[in-house]
Amino acid sequence: MVAADIAEDDELLSEMSILNNAFGIGIIKLNIDIPEQSGILFYAKHKNEIDINMLDKLISKNPDVEAIFKCLYEGKQLSRVVSEKAFDEVLKDEQYKEHVAKKLRVETDK
């Protein structure tokens, strides 16, 4: 998981640690201005099994999480990507810079 703005308070870091332990989810704090200076808060880990109780908790609280896991499950069953719309596009460097500039303009206009 990659995010540019992560509040580093104890409660949030604890929740991120739980996600990391339960699912092996890695978390990167992105430096928008200088991407090379981004930092890894939690390293990704390979997990052979999923913590079903934690997954249930996440799915019940967030319909986006449910949609992503449904897409991953269906894709695994069919051995292919079911919906590319469920995932962010991987951008080349120039596209990334344009995307970030556009996002920053939109947020400042609010």
pTM given for the model: 0.51
68 and 106 both lie in a single domain:
yes
Query: What is the total count of domains within the chain?
Result: 2
The sheet carrying 2-3 orders its strands as: 2-3, 27-29, 39-42
Q: In which residue ranges of the chain is pLDDT below 70?
A: 80-86, 107-110
Residues 81-104 pLDDT 10s: 666 666 777 888 888 888 888 877
Per DSSP (E only), the strands in 1-110 are: 2-3, 27-29, 39-42
Domain for residue 22, yes or no?
A: yes
Assigned token pair, 6: 């992560």
Cα 36 to Cα 38: distance, rounded to the nearest angstrom:
6
41 and 70 both lie in a single domain:
no
38 and 81 both lie in a single domain:
no
State which residues form the domain around 11: 1-47
31 and 69 both lie in a single domain:
no
